[in-house]
Amino acid sequence: MSWYRNAVWFVKGLREYTRSGYESASKHFNPADVEVNVAGRSFLVTGANSGIGKATATEIARRGGTVHLVCRNKERAEVAKTEIVAETGNQNIFLHIVDISNPKEIWKFAEKFKSEHKLNVLINNAGCMVNNRELTEDGLEKNFATNTLGTYILTTALLPLLEKEVDARVITVSSGGMLVQKLNVSDLQSAGGTFDGTMVYAQNKRQQVVLTEQWAKVHRNIHFSVMHPGWADTPAVRSSMPDFYQTMKNALRTEAQGADTVVWLAVSAEATQLPSGLFFQDRQPVPTHLPLACTHSPLEDEEKLMEVLEEFSQKFKSTSPG
């Protein structure tokens, strides 16, 4: 069925995920939804030095929010912070250097952050698509370490902080590519078979959808959502998918268009009128499975994913420095 899923997804993408798809969908947006002042609210955005993360951080800063930029590269992050402050006039922009593929580093950061700041909205945007199987210094496959385990640890570590706030939200930037993948808990680190970075990334994005659905069941005081930004022209797409970029570059969304639904989920009152745990595209909840694609998973597989990630999480927490 994989050929069917890939074909349906690509046709759907040409229609909905491109710039023309955004322009069509945006005709139905209510501009007032995001014309809000969020001064006094605190937002944390991972992967915020470029692409959708930076566009999201800029729009939140423009609306008065306190924005914490979590980035891996200090030099690029400092440039991004300077640009966001200059563009928005908002001085409440804070920088944290964290490698989301390093679980010990995430734990250390989260514990410090909890002692110094409040948090209303967490935006899990950082991600990677490594096309060859690479291991981190902890022996973790890099895509899994960043996209799945990093997202899991940062979110669970900050949940106690979010639980303290009214109207707390967690938004995870996923991908429509997850529609071609069924959750596979038997090989989370892609050790078996031929390694295909694009499909590993898509599997990680399916895992993020499952995480969001599972968290929403347990943490009723926090609004969880996961979203697809469409096919946007970002540095990550250019570097990780050069052939796709060359083919589609004239049809790709801008970074701001890709970030639009993230901003809407982060600041609008309308977003939280919808149930927690949904998958969004262009400000609307959409199905997480293609028709006839056979990508639904048994509940025990979803529970197994949570159990395994929690085991990893605690292992690295116990070995994290101070």
Indicate if 245 belongs to the active site: no
Structure tokens at 82: 């300077």
Maximum CA extent, the chain = 51
Q: Are strands 284-285 and 66-71 parallel, antiparallel or unpaired?
A: unpaired
Distance (Å, rounded) from C-alpha 60 to C-alpha 38? Answer: 8
Whether the CB-CB separation of 173 and 233 falls below 8 Å is answered with no
Q: Are strands 93-97 and 168-173 parallel, antiparallel or unpaired?
A: unpaired
Whether the CB-CB separation of 246 and 252 falls below 8 Å is answered with no
Q: Are strands 284-285 and 278-281 parallel, antiparallel or unpaired?
A: antiparallel
Whether the CB-CB separation of 225 and 213 falls below 8 Å is answered with no
Q: Which residue among 17, 22, 152, 201 is the active-site one?
A: 201
H runs (alpha helix) in the chain = 2-16, 19-26, 51-62, 74-88, 103-116, 142-143, 151-163, 197-218, 235-240, 242-248, 255-267, 299-319
Catalytic positions are 201
